[in-house]
Chains A and B, each alone.
Chain A
Amino acid sequence: MNIIEFSHVSKIYRKGFLAKKVPAVVDLSFAVRQGAITGFVGPNGAGKTTSIKMIMGLARPTGGVLQFSGRDPRDPASRRDCTFLPEQPYFYQHLTVRESLAFAARLYGLRGGHLAKDIEQTLETVGLGGNEKRKIKDLSKGMQQRVAMAQALLMHSNVLILDEPMSGMDPPGRNLFRAIFLSLAAQGRTIFFSTHILDDIELLCSDVVVLSKGRLDYQGPIDTLVHKGFKGHDLVVPRLPEALKEELRRMGCTLEAPGAAGDRVFVPSGIDLIQCQKRLHEHGVFCKSLTKRTISLEDVLYKK
């Protein structure tokens, strides 16, 4: 089952005195599976935050159909089992940490004598134990992010939507969040988060949605995307006779500038590496080294 379904969704803002049309999202169609950790990636201005706002009912699509938990996102019931962490934690500054979490809990309909204890335990989990009485305005951005995560854990929501949750976090904080995400995913929760930190995508996500200029660039398993970065294999071999070099060229390999260790043969992906190695073995040539040539995920995503 899909928790989030975009079907030809567009969002066009009107800016300025002449109400000039500014498209933020154009004909976007993708789905987020229940129980998956899905990364939402794209360069600045790709439409990620706009898409997340539409999911949370903060903005209305100009066209297309958007379903969240099987409902229109403008229906408050669609958010009953969901917690949202925005990029900047927008807490009421006049409240203490405890008051803020209690307020959020009561908006979800949680109440009762155990709430105070649950809040204390949750704050311990995110490393903010003992800070219940501090005013939100006295906390750093990283600490406020932890309060936001505490809110998500307190509600036991099955769906978490996060907009750059680790921005502003120190490395221990990011490690804590990663551990929490993996733990939640193991419990079958659905996590959908946007990020610029590609390490998090590779470490945490099973699926990824890539946007570019408001349009879908890629949607699918992260493995397929990582595989796109795979270019081929680099072989270092002893000096080759010209005839063998010609044969390797005919097979589709590239002979690159020789190094001190010998000749360098590049076997592109798509060319059978085993056959190339067989051919070399037939001529008594054995590889000195064999390495994969890949381009980084950043280059796969952001460089065309």
Chain B
Amino acid sequence: MRSIFEIALNTIKETIRNHVVYMVLLFVVILILLSVSFGDWSVFARIQVIEDFGLATMSIAGLLLAVFIGVGMLGKEISSKTLYHVLTKPVARYQFIAGKYAGLLSVLALNYAIMTLFFMATLMFLGGHANWPLVSAIICIWTEMAVIISAALFFSSFTSPMLAALFSIAFYIAGHLNDLISINIASQKWSGFPLVLKTLYYLLPNLEHFNVRDHVVYNMALPRGFTEMAVAYGCLYVALFLIFSCILFDKKDL
């Protein structure tokens, strides 16, 4: 466990010293500020626009951070061989993967905490208020980000950083279009295809589960226990991706 902690600490130092994190944070801050003026152009109330836009921006930020940092993290270690510095010590490969993920997640959670504080401060300054759907939406976005990063780490454990980035983006898109697969299943003529689609539907995580922006914007109540189930659902996929990452990474010749 101590090795995982030390590797996580080293990853935190490395990520904090990476300018991409600050660029994405700045990007989100600028967009949230811009969204204040968008509200004036919209038929909806300004607060609703800021809430919708802000949450969408934070979701996209998670994808950008996963692609720019998460994907490169393992790939960069393999190509520059800095992982020799760790794996030639009494450290197991699964500890390395767990440590990298924990470190990355910690920095990005901090990043999201700053984004959330700024977002909340902007809302409250303009007369909005924090309510449970808003907090729940942010928790769901954090969980979605954790899933995307674990997927990015999984892809980078067996392929190049470029391909891992493409797979991560495709994963994000497919995850958000997952509901369309179930709609398509009934309409397929070829009998084998619904089986393929069904397999895909159950294999891919449904990232739309983490999207509760509509509930926030239209002030709708969330079902009881929804947030907890979403977090558990996300944790399950994170665990699966990490386990598969460890299995693939363990077999890899470095």
Contact = CB atoms under 8 A, between A and B. Distances in A.
A106 interface: yes
B85 A92 contact: yes
Contacts of A88: 81
A56 B88 contact: yes
Interface in B1-54: 2-3, 6-7, 10, 13-14, 17
Contact of A90 (B3, B82, B95): B82
Interface string A71-97: 000001111100010101011111100
Interface stretch (A57-65, A172-180, A208-216): A57-65
Contact of B254 (A13, A53, A78): A53
Contacts of A100: 85
A77 B90 contact: yes
A57 B82 contact: no
Nearest to B6: A106
Interface residues of B, number: 25
A109 interface: yes
Contacts of B82: 90-93
A94 B90 CA distance: 22
A12 to B, nearest CB: 11
A59 B254 contact: yes
A285 interface: no
B87 interface: yes
Contacts of B13: 94-95, 99
Interface of B is mostly: helix
B224 interface: no
Considering residues A58, A77, A88, which has the most beta carbons from chain B within 10 angstroms of its beta carbon?
A58
A90 B80 contact: yes
Nearest to B251: A60
Interface string B63-94: 00000000000000000111111111111100
Interface residues of A, number: 29
A22 interface: no
Given A13-B253, A86-B84, A104-B85, A92 B10 contact: yes
Nearest to B18: A94
Interface of A is mostly: loop
Interface string B113-153: 00000000000000000000000000000000000000000
Contacts of A53: 253-254
Contacts of A93: 82
B81 A79 contact: no
A86 B86 CA distance: 12
Contacts of A109: 2, 90
B253 A79 contact: no
A56 B89 CA distance: 9
A128 B199 CA distance: 59
Contact of B90 (A76, A86, A95): A76
B92 A76 contact: yes
Given A107-B91, A108-B90, A90 B81 contact: yes
Interface of B: 2-3, 6-7, 10, 13-14, 17, 80-92, 95, 251, 253-254
What 9 pairs between A and B have smallest CB-CB spacing?
Answer: A84-B88, A107-B89, A90-B81, A59-B253, A76-B90, A58-B254, A80-B90, A90-B84, A94-B17
16 contacts: A53-B254, A57-B88, A59-B253, A76-B89, A76-B95, A79-B89, A86-B88, A91-B85, A92-B10, A94-B13, A94-B17, A95-B10, A103-B10, A107-B6, A107-B86, A108-B90
